[in-house]
Amino acid sequence: MNTIDRRIRAFSIDMSLATILLILLIILGGSIEGADGGLVMFIAAAIAYFGTLVIPNFFSKGQSFGKRTQKIKVVDIKTGEAASLFLVILREAFKATLMISTVGFYLVVCGIMASSRRDGRTIHDLVFRTKIICLTRYVSDREGMPIEQTPAMKKRMEGSSHD
């Protein structure tokens, strides 16, 4: 099952939370007298990103808040178990480094890879031997609709992404 829709929603939720946290940290950091603005910004961005994507893994293995809301999980490709915290930290650091160094172009490449590969794995999944799995099925999932379609529904859905 391709998880691209859920991955995008989960990433959007996580980045929204990271942005809110970043803004709060910049406001707090701006109140420190004599602090270098660039250093405050860098530290605030690192805390916001890793605080949003890594810290939740201490409470729910293999899941950030966005992944938990979308019912997806990062698992080790060999064992099928939740990825270790160390692996998640390395995976997120690798992903952040590529996102920053390519000015976001890496996210476009990941989106293309995840949508075109049958297993939905991206570069950071391939490097760290992980994958994203769905914990539940939604009615909108493309593979095997869990509800039956009437002939009228099938006709209306003709030509849509649910063929």
Confidence at residue 75, expressed as pLDDT on a 0 to 100 scale: 92
pLDDT band at 145 (very low <50, low <70, confident <90, very high): very low
pLDDT in tens, 68-112: 999 999 999 999 899 999 999 899 899 999 999 999 999 999 999
Residue whose structure tokens are 């605080």: 51
The pLDDT of 39-58, averaged and rounded, is 88
pLDDT score of 135 more than 70? yes
Q: Report the C-alpha gap between 139 and 149 in whole angstroms.
A: 11
Percent of all residues in the chain with a pLDDT value above 90, rounded to a whole number = 45
* Contact status, residue 74 vs residue 84, Cβ threshold 8 Å: no
- Which residues lie below 8 Å from residue 3, measured CB to CB, with a gap of 6+? 72, 114, 120, 132, 133, 134
pLDDT band at 157 (very low <50, low <70, confident <90, very high): low
Q: Quick count: other Cβ atoms within 10 Å of Cβ 23?
A: 12
Q: Of 113, 151, 42, whose CA–CA distance to 121 is shortest? A: 113
* Contact status, residue 85 vs residue 61, Cβ threshold 8 Å: yes
Helix, strand, coil tally for the chain in percent (to 5): 60, 5, 35
